[in-house]
Structure 1
Amino acid sequence: MITYMFKNNPFQDLQLLHYGTEPCTPGHHFGPAMRDHYKIHYILDGKGTFEVGGKTYELHKGQGFLIVPHSVVHYKADLEDPWEYSWVAFQGNASHSLLQQACLSEQHPIFELENDDEMRSCLHRMIHSRNTHKGWEISMTGWLYQFFSILIDHANEDILPPEQEFSKETYVTQVMDFVEMNYANPITVQSIASHIGLQRSYLCSLFKDQMGTSIQSYLVNYRMRKAAELTLGTGLTIGDISRSVGYSDQLLFSKMFKKVMGEAPTHYRKHRTAPSRLSS
């Protein structure tokens, strides 16, 4: 068995708690019991059974299973061909969203990879990594994201009806996150929809129903709020600020700034910085 326990992991979105690999003895089992975190096992060889929610799954090499927090589970290695598995245990704010994208849940805890070369390579590098440099925990968190990337790429999207894979709130959050990360680039509503994987018209309708405004308006307002911060908090020229929030056309930027903030960027900067200069 190889394992490592993270004591003070600084990553809140996705925290790797421990991981390892184990060639099990015949009949080796855990439970019935529960965990207080997420844990995914991937079977490298052999077979065994996994029980959860009144269901029993007969599993073999190339398959894996998810354990969710506070769910009673029992799993056991086969008596004749006991499994060898690797596992990763994790928690964090991004866990639920990543599992949704991988089509994994308490109701659908099983996955299977037809070609698992990527998975084996990822697990090997994670498990045989050593804490020998300052950026080790960052590196390990990166491998955990790579682990999820492989699961998502091979997800069985037929398991869940499309409308249940993500909630409307999840799609709205994805739009907001994309805008936050890319507002300085020349993005469009179409590029946002393509990134999320929904038709433009459907995503626009969904976003407006949830937020009361269009994606385009949200993007413009977000950019102008950022521009306002740059106007007051830096010595950048208006042209510099325009380019910093995704506008190559300074005249268009100034027009949109005035529409959102109520005055032109030069006036906005002057009126809000003047009092501090007078008081000095």
Structure 2
Amino acid sequence: MITYMFKNTHFQELQLLHYGTEVCTPGHHFGPAMRDYYKIHYVLNGKGTFEVAGTTYHLRKGQGFLIVPHSVVHYQADLHDPWEYSWVAFQGTHSSSFLEQACLTEQQPIFDLGDEDDEMRSCLHRIIHSRTTHKGWEISMTGWLYQFFAILIDHAHTANLQPAVEHGKDMYVTQVMDFIEMNYANAITVQSIASHIGLQRSYLCSLFKDQIGSSIQSYLVHYRMRRAAELTMDLNLSIGDIARSVGYTDQLLFSKMFKKVMGEAPTHYRKKKAAASL
């Protein structure tokens, strides 16, 4: 077994607490008991069972399970083909968000990587052996923990899994808004937003409209026009400069959208605001 315990307050968003690998003896078990942090086990070989919230899951090579904080669990190696697994324990402000993107919850704690098994094994190997490679081992391990989640999130997207809990929808809406806030000046599309978040375009559009009452495209246009309206107060910027600053290379299209949202053309809007400020 290989395991290390450490706590580094520099990584508040995602913090690796401990990790390891264990070749279990037949019937080796943990619990029923709980943890006060998140922990994910990944089965490298063999078989075993995982029990949580009254449900028993039978697991094998290439599968894994999530333990959430303060949830009573029990897991046990098979009597005839005991499992070997690696694990990572973690906490941080991004933990719940990443897990929801990976569609992992207490109600849906199991994942099956299938063809992505080699990628996950390589990632876990990097985490476990990063400490012995160089002086920047804490940064390196945290980076590989992000990669660990990237594999799980990509798998959920490829397998077309959907969030198992309602509050996950709020998280996706927030992610859309945050993405637009950070990227409205670029040539982004609804498809690029969906790809970034890791959901199907049609599902994300439906979810966003149900929660907000507006389409993603409409929200993006209105956000850009509000920012453009603010920029009209800077007289050093031409209308073309403003258009490009909010993601439009076509000034005529920008002016058309500005008038549609703000009620008047950007030049008239600027003159009216300038006169009002005198």
TM-score, with normalisation over the residues of structure 1? 0.75
Aligned to 1:112: 112
- Structure 2 gap ranges (5+): none
Q: Are the equivalent residues in 2 in contact too, given 1:40–1:64 (CA < 8 A)? A: yes
Task: Number of aligned residue pairs: give it.
Answer: 270
Contact (CA 8 Å) 2:190, 2:201: kept in 1 or not?
no
Cα distance in 2 between the residues matched to 1:86 and 1:234: 60
Residues 39-58 of structure 1: CA deviation (Å, up to 9, x unaligned): 10012233333222233334
- Aligned residue number for residue 68 of structure 1: 68
What residue is the counterpart of 1:30 in the other structure? 30
**3-state SS of paired residue (1:187):** coil
Q: Which amino acid aligns with 1:249?
A: D
Deviates more, 1:51-60 or 1:222-231: 222-231
| 2:15 aligned with 1:15 | yes
Aligned AA (1:59): L
Q: Give the drift of 1:124.
A: 0.7
**SS in structure 1 at match of 2:181:** helix
Q: Does 1:85 align with 2:88?
A: no
Cα distance in structure 1, aligned partners of 2:7 and 2:238: 46
1:125 is aligned with what amino acid? R
Structure 2 residue matching 1:19: 3-state secondary structure = strand
Work out the CA distance in 2 between the residues paired with 1:140 and 1:268. Answer: 55
Q: Out of 201, 205, 225, which is 1:198 matched to? A: 201
Is the CA contact 1:103–1:157 (under 8 Å) kept in the aligned structure 2? no
1:126-137 equivalence runs, <5 A: 126-130=127-131, 132-133=134-135, 136-137=137-138
In structure 2, how many angstroms separate the alpha carbons of the residues matched to 1:158 and 1:190? 18
Q: 1:5 to 1:229 in 2, by over 3 A?
A: farther
Q: TM-score, normalised by structure 2?
A: 0.75
Q: Is the 8 A contact 1:101 1:165 kept in 2?
A: no
Q: Flag structure 1 segments of 5+ consecutive residues without an equivalent.
A: 276-280
Residues 108 and 159 of structure 1 are in contact (CA less than 8 Å); yes or no, is this contact kept in structure 2?
no
Change (3 A) 1:168 1:44: closer
Contact 2:233 2:270 in 1 (8 A): no
> How far did residue 117 of structure 1 move?
0.8
Question: Take 2:156 and 2:189, find their aligned partners in 1: how far apart are those partners?
Answer: 28
CA distance in 2: counterparts of 1:215 and 1:223, whole angstroms:
12
Query: What's the RMSD between the two structures over aligned residues?
Result: 3.8
Please say which of residues 73-82 and 261-270 is displaced more in the overlay.
261-270
Describe the SS at the equivalent of 2:144: helix
